[in-house]
A and B are shown apart, each in its own frame.
Chain A
Amino acid sequence: GNSVTQMEGPVTLSEEAFLTINCTYTATGYPSLFWYVQYPGEGLQLLLKATKADDKGSNKGFEATYRKETTSFHLEKGSVQVSDSAVYFCALRAGSGAGSYQLTFGKGTKLSVIP
């Protein structure tokens, strides 16, 4: 079946540091890949997505590139801010078939940014 593995947290960074959160996946076919973010006390919201190999998703200074050869979708940001403190979830949707109705989520990585 489909699965998503992301780096264990929590991750603590100083403001303006470089961020990488690793995400690798296992899926049949050609999945679509997503990063969702959850701020304290809220539901998840879509941060960025990529639907085919070599696509780069970007939003709010965050980027992730769909790498089919390494089955990865690592999240990066060049300079984090305190307001980026949240839990980040990597997710995939199978390319076709019954499973394409389901999003499979990783376990989440909590990021804390200190001033």
Chain B
Amino acid sequence: EAQVTQNPRYLITVTGKKLTVTCSQNMNHEYMSWYRQDPGLGLRQIYYSMNVEVTDKGDVPEGYKVSRKEKRNFPLILESPSPNQTSLYFCASSSRGQDNSPLHFGNGTRLTVT
């Protein structure tokens, strides 16, 4: 089954403790992206990747890192999480970034930073 898989689904952590949210897709997609969803703000893009070893900042990249060493994986790294990073995070992928192929989303990771 074609899917985007994020882990974990729920995560509670403390300020400053490094964490990684994993994202994997099995559709051989070139384009992958991370979003955060907050009440009243909708979805905002954090980082995106056009292909292996090619990444770029979205609208809200501060406090986040990403890497794209393999085509299928696009982990999101919070080196020193803070409470304002408490949010619902989504990973998404599509076959190519600049055409109109649909974005496929994971089921989300709800992160709480205390």
In the complex, identify which listed stretch (B13-21, B63-71, B75-83, B103-111) lies at the interface while the others stay far away.
Answer: B103-111
Centre residue among A32, A43, A49 by max chain B CB count within 10 A: A43
What's the tally of chain A residues with a CB closer than 8 Å to chain B?
A: 20
| Of the residues A46, A89, A93, A102, contact of B48 by C-beta under 8 Å | A102
Q: What separation, in Å, do the CA atoms of A108 and B104 have in the docked complex?
A: 18
A21-79 contacts to B (CB < 8 Å): 32, 36, 41-46, 49, 51
Which residues from chain A contact B105 at a C-beta distance below 8 Å?
Answer: 42-45
B108 near A105: Cβ-Cβ < 8 Å:
no
B14-50 contacts to A (CB < 8 Å): 31, 35, 40-45, 48, 50
- Is A103 at the interface (CB under 8 A from chain B)? yes
CB distance from A51 to the nearest CB of B (A): 6
Q: What separation, in Å, do the CA atoms of A45 and B94 have in the docked complex?
A: 12
Q: What separation, in Å, do the CA atoms of A49 and B98 have in the docked complex?
A: 15
Q: What separation, in Å, do the CA atoms of A36 and B102 have in the docked complex?
A: 10
Q: What separation, in Å, do the CA atoms of A36 and B105 have in the docked complex?
A: 11
**Known A-B contacts A89-B42, A101-B50, A107-B42; A42 and B107 likewise in contact (beta carbons under 8 Å):** yes
Considering only CB atoms, which chain B residue lies closest to A90 in the complex?
B42
Centre residue among A49, A100, A105 by max chain B CB count within 10 A: A105
Which residues from chain A contact B104 at a C-beta distance below 8 Å?
Answer: 45
CB distance from A26 to the nearest CB of B (A): 15
Residue pairs across A and B with Cβ atoms less than 8 A apart, 10 shown, are: A43-B90, A44-B90, A44-B92, A44-B103, A44-B105, A45-B104, A100-B97, A101-B56, A101-B98, A103-B103
